Structure formats: C-alpha cells, structure tokens
Homo-oligomer: A and B are copies of this chain.
Amino acid sequence: MILTVTLNAALDITYRVPRLHPHTTNRITEVSERPGGKGLNVARVLAALGHRTVATGFAGGGTGEALRALLAETEVTDALVPVGGATRRTVAVVDAATGDTTQLNEPGPVVSPAEWDTFLGTYRELLGEARAVALCGSLPPGVPVDVYARLTRAARSAGVPVLLDTSGEPLRRGLAARPDLAKPNADELAALTGSTEPLRAARDARRRGAHAVAASLGPDGMLAVTADGTWQAAPPHRIAGNPTGAGDSAVAGLLSGLVEDLPWPDRLTRAVALSAATVRAPAAGEFDTGTYEELLGTVRVVAPSPEARSVK
C-alpha cells in the first residue's frame, strides 16, 4: 500500500454565495464538505488510480468525526490517530459571480507530546507495509518543526521511499533528511532558495538534500531535477478552472509513478495530466477522468532551456 501522512487534516467546507459582500451578511446558497488537508487529497487521488492507500495523521472533536465519516465513504483506509483537540475547518467561500474563492483556514488543534508519541508508533507500524510514503502539508501547533526530517529518516531506515510536500521551515528541515523527492510549488521554492528562476531554484533545493525535486509551476506544468536528468512537462494548452487540489493530484501522480517504477518523463506526464484534470473538474479536489486520459497523450515533456531538447 501507499501511505499518506496529514498531520493537520481538515474538514474542508465550501460555501457558494451569489456574490460575496465583505463586511455585510451573506446568505449561503450551497454548502459542501469533504475530507481535507493535502495528504488526504493525495490519498483520494491515489485510490482513484487503483492504489491501495492508507491515510494517517491526527483527527479529533466533532469536526474530526465528520471528517472520518466522509473518509469512510472513499476507498482510502483510515488510520488517523485520535487527538483531544478538534480537527480544524477550512472554509472556501466561492463567489458565483466572479468565480473567485476567499479561503479561511483555522489553525488546527494543539497536539500533546503523548499524542505525538502515539502517532510515531502508528507511523512506524504502517511503514512496515508501505511501498512509499507522502508527507504533506502544514503542521498543527505542538508538533516539532523538524517533524518531517524525523519521519523521513524513519521511512528511509525502513527502506520506504519518501515524497515531501510542505513549505517554510518544515520543508527546509525535511530536505536535510534526504527525502527521495520533494514537490514544492514555485512560491515555496522561491521562499526556500531566494530565487524566482525555477530551474536555478529547483537545483538549489536538490543540493539541500532531496534526491529529486519536482516543482509544480501552475499552468506551466512541472519541472523535475533528478539524478537521471532534468525535464519540464506542460499541458498542450492552458486549462481554465479551479486550481484547488491540483498540486495534491500532482503528488499522487508522481508517487504512483515512483511505486510503478515508471521512467521520469512518464511520471511527469501523469502528474501534469492529473493536475490539469483537477483544475478542470467541477468540484475542488476531484479530477476529471476524461481530461486526464486525453492529456496523458498530449502532455509535452522537454529538457528545459537552454538544452531545449524534446524527449517525447
């Protein structure tokens, strides 16, 4: 199975309003809820690709119960560890007139040292059956900032490949523990390295410890710097839609490609196609199967300039 870790899981709530009027009262016309947090999004896409997937992390309170009830409706196996605090909510307010989204993110429950210890035990046990692990997202209060470094070392000791998708100090510390793959986006890469030039920044990030770096570049697709080579993959044309969850779908594409031992250009093709198919899907965080299958044949993978050599 593939293991995904979501330390700051969330109950994702989407509110649709005809038009958002700040500083007044807004009546919501449509409410939807789903399990949220990057690792849970990745897990759902992996399961949709046919991989047996187990999700761990923390869940607690009434919001945690609601999240677990929604997770039980999916193919993902729930191995979340209970906490005393309540799972955070994220509220996405979608303005139907403009399509814009205003996002409100709660900070998440404080995790106690005892809860953290219980989690580490569960994590080590799950690694025994895992073919790969994804460590995803922000940290709740109370979790040590070097957590992803610790979890990466534990996975590498168990011989399980690690994909790291986080930002800021947890990313910086995590990279030093030499994960197999890091998947920052352009902003995270720039914050880490100080460079807004993706190729330079991805190479810098790789020198900080990751065996490979695959950076998601929004509509420009994905740039990978690996021991086997450097590639850029992009959809054949711009895809309009809601980018929520597109990065998580890319992680699922990369991780499934790693487990299936695909060559790098094929992993990138899958990641970019899934990502674009997520932008195209009507519900945030889902992916459109038709778009995915169509794009699998049309994503272009090239060596990034100055080499500018097509490999596909």
Contact partner, A104, options B26, B62, B89, B105, Cβ 8 Å:
B26
Across-interface contacts of A93 in B (CB, < 8 A): 104
Please give the count of copies of this chain that the complex contains.
Answer: 2
- Report Cα–Cα, A105/B104, bound state, in Å: 15
Question: Does A23 touch B at the CB level, under 8 Å?
Answer: yes
List residues of A (6-53) whose CB comes within 8 Å of B's CBs: 13, 15, 17, 20-29, 31
Across-interface contacts of A105 in B (CB, < 8 A): 25-28
- Report Cα–Cα, A22/B95, bound state, in Å: 10
Question: Does A101 touch B at the CB level, under 8 Å?
Answer: yes
Question: Does A106 touch B at the CB level, under 8 Å?
Answer: yes
Across-interface contacts of A23 in B (CB, < 8 A): 95, 98, 100-102
- Report Cα–Cα, A17/B22, bound state, in Å: 13
Minimum Cβ distance to chain B for residue A137 (Å): 13
Taking a contact as CB atoms under 8 Å apart, the answer to whether B107 and A27 are in contact is: yes
Taking a contact as CB atoms under 8 Å apart, the answer to whether B104 and A28 are in contact is: yes
Question: Does A66 touch B at the CB level, under 8 Å?
Answer: yes
Across-interface contacts of A21 in B (CB, < 8 A): 102
Smallest CB gap from A98: residue in B = B23
Question: Does A65 touch B at the CB level, under 8 Å?
Answer: yes
Taking a contact as CB atoms under 8 Å apart, the answer to whether A28 and B107 are in contact is: yes
Question: Does A91 touch B at the CB level, under 8 Å?
Answer: yes
- Report Cα–Cα, A16/B11, bound state, in Å: 19
Taking a contact as CB atoms under 8 Å apart, the answer to whether B62 and A103 are in contact is: no
Smallest CB gap from A69: residue in B = B62
- Report Cα–Cα, A66/B107, bound state, in Å: 19
Question: Does A77 touch B at the CB level, under 8 Å?
Answer: no
Minimum Cβ distance to chain B for residue A104 (Å): 5
Smallest CB gap from A92: residue in B = B25
Residue interface bits A204-243, CB-to-B below 8 A is 1, else 0: 0000000000000000000000000000000000000000
Across-interface contacts of A101 in B (CB, < 8 A): 23
- Report Cα–Cα, A100/B65, bound state, in Å: 32
Residue interface bits A66-109, CB-to-B below 8 A is 1, else 0: 10000000000000000000000101010100101111111100
Question: Does A289 touch B at the CB level, under 8 Å?
Answer: no
In the complex, 22 of the A-B residue pairs with CB atoms within 8 angstroms, ordered by the A residue number, are A13-B89, A15-B104, A15-B106, A20-B22, A21-B102, A22-B22, A22-B100, A22-B102, A23-B95, A23-B98, A23-B100, A24-B102, A24-B103, A25-B103, A27-B105, A28-B104, A28-B106, A31-B106, A62-B65, A62-B66, A91-B91, A91-B104
Q: A23-B102, A25-B105, A26-B105 are in contact. List 11 more A-B contacts (CB 8 A).
A: A13-B89, A15-B104, A22-B102, A23-B100, A26-B103, A28-B105, A29-B107, A31-B107, A62-B63, A62-B66, A93-B104
